[in-house]
Amino acid sequence: MSTSRDDFGIAIRSALLQRGAKQKFSLFVLILLSLSIFALDISELKPIKILRSLLNDGVYRISAISSSPIKFSGTVKDFFITHIFVYKENRKLKTELEELKNKDFQTLYLQTANKRLQDIIQLEKKSAFTTIAAKVILDKNSPYLNSVIINRGSSSRIKLGMPVLSEGNLVGRVVEVNFLSARILLLNDLNSKIPVMISPKGSQAILSGRGEDKPKLEYLPEKFELNDKNLVFTSGKDGIFFEGIPVGNVIFEDNKIKVKLFSDPNQVSFVNVILDKSSDAEAM
């Protein structure tokens, strides 16, 4: 009997060791394990609940840790995409803002230029001279030489020696004429010398440019009396300038008698070139 039982055990072990038996045994064990886990899962025993809770926490923690790199990479990606979008949008808004500012500045500039042109037109109507408006297109100022280039020339009847006004006051004369442009020698140029008359006594002098803002008066009468009423006008004695064009008022500065010009030559942007006396002025 003992021998037969041993043979039976050996036969069973031999059968279990076979490959087919191994697979069946493994499947059987897995089924048993699944049934056990299912039974434990539906069980209401307190130890089982605690064990199930611990297992669930462990699974959840492992899942969270394993998914963190993916979440982190997604968060980083979203952050950079949002940052780049905001940066581009910010640049776009800045560009649009600059364009609006430039449009506003351009509008203000055009309004200012338009007002200046309107003032020039009004001066042409009120002036005792026949004039033509011109715009300064180039400033050739230096420490002692001061001149500007205007956008009118011989095609607009501009000639050498013609007086040039700014806001109705003398600022210079034409010294070079081209077909479409001309050069104006300003009163404060070192080479500028103009015969003038000083009110109220009609004293004669020469207004001489010195490269400074205020030209100097030369060849004044010996008994010249300086006062607040000394205004300077062109005398017309040179046969080039018309008489009576306002120039400035006399001041005493640095022990010299100078003229503070009514129109600052350094601020000239639009001018009126005198072509001739108006018919109304000639009638007078």
Instruction: Note the pLDDT of residue 75.
Output: 58
Phi-psi group of 202: left, alpha or beta (phi > 0 → left; psi -120 to 50 → alpha; rest → beta): left
> What does the alpha-carbon distance between residue 208 and residue 194 come to, in Å, rounded to a whole number?
7
Phi-psi group of 39: left, alpha or beta (phi > 0 → left; psi -120 to 50 → alpha; rest → beta): alpha
CB of 261 closer than 8 Å to CB of 276 = no
Instruction: Note the pLDDT of residue 281.
Output: 43
Look at the block and give the residue holding tokens 């031999």.
Answer: 14
φ and ψ at residue 209, rounded to 5 degrees:
-70, 145
Considering Cα of 157, then 158, then 159, then 163, what sign does the dihedral take? positive
Look at the block and give the residue holding tokens 């605690």.
Answer: 50
Model confidence pTM above 0.75: no
Considering Cα of 142, then 146, then 151, then 154, what sign does the dihedral take? negative
Instruction: Note the pLDDT of residue 222.
Output: 85
Q: What DSSP string describes 42-82?
A: H---HHHHHHHHHHHHHHHHHHHHHHHHHHHHHHHHHHHHH
Q: Which domains does the chain have, with CATH numbers?
A: 130-276 (2.40.10.340)
Instruction: Note the pLDDT of residue 260.
Output: 94
Amino acid at 93: L
Instruction: Note the pLDDT of residue 189.
Output: 93
Block means of pLDDT (10 residues each) for the chain, length 284 residues? 52 53 63 69 65 64 59 58 71 74 61 57 63 88 83 92 91 94 93 92 92 91 84 87 90 90 89 76 44
Local structure of residue 255 (DSSP, 8 states): T
Instruction: Note the pLDDT of residue 63.
Output: 61
CB atoms within 10 A of CB 233: 18
